[in-house]
Amino acid sequence: MFRLTAPRTAANSRAVTTDAAREKFRAYLAGNGLRATSQRLAIFDAAFGQAEHFTADQLLRHVRVIDDSVSRASVYRTLPLMIASALLRAVDIGADEKFYRSNRDGTATQVAQVVCVDCNRIFEISAPFMSWYGSTVSSKLGLTPQSQRLQVSAHCDSFRQTGTCPRRG
């Protein structure tokens, strides 16, 4: 079995935050009678090693750099745990695959997604007025809002003109 811990480099400036989050994850597991297995911790590290949004499959590939024995099933079984512990957020953009994102900055609920149909990236922007929208619209129906999601599909001007998206990397 091949296994290593995530490297701590100067560029990895969020290492301390990740450590704190990993402890929160361990605490969540312990508090719910769940075991801190090497697979769960590896999956957690892989998730927090991703800067951008990622899919379950991308997470699997990333985990396997840390521990190549981790199965796809464990990834799918661990994702809901990380979400329940509020360390991960699911981001549904209406695509076939679900996207996820580590929740470093506390509970960021009021965010809107802008999905670029050209560079295929997801930008998240603070939208504090969203909950007001939700209440306004729900109250007309006699319903109580639970959550709201605002999603903008947009296209990249420079991609349409030059064939290259400056953000695509």
Partner DNA sequence: ATATGTGCAAATCCTTTGCACGTGC
Partner DNA sequence: GCACGTGCAAAGGATTTGCACATAT
Residue numbers at the binding site for its own copies (CB under 8 A): 92, 94, 112, 114, 116-117, 123, 125, 127, 129-130, 133-134, 137-138, 140-158
Distance CA 66, CA 82 (A): 18
Residue from 2, 11, 96, 128 binding DNA (CB under 7 A)? 96
Residue from 12, 37, 126, 164 binding DNA (CB under 7 A)? 37
DSSP structure class, residue 67? B
- Please name the residues in contact with 115: beta carbons below 8 A apart, sequence gap of 6 or more: 93, 121, 122, 123, 151, 152, 153, 154
Residue from 6, 22, 28, 55 binding DNA (CB under 7 A)? 55
Cβ count near 27 (within 10 Å)? 12
Nearest to DNA of 93, 112 (CB atom)? 93
Give least dist CB 111 to DNA, A: 20
Handedness of CA 159, 162, 166, 168 (dihedral sign): positive
Q: Which region among 9-17, 70-78, 144-152, 157-165 touches DNA (by CB under 7 A)?
A: 70-78
Q: Helices 72-84 and 56-66 meet at what angle, rounded to 10?
A: 110
Which residue is it, tokens 């809901």? Answer: 80
Give least dist CB 50 to DNA, A: 15
Nearest to DNA of 94, 106 (CB atom)? 94
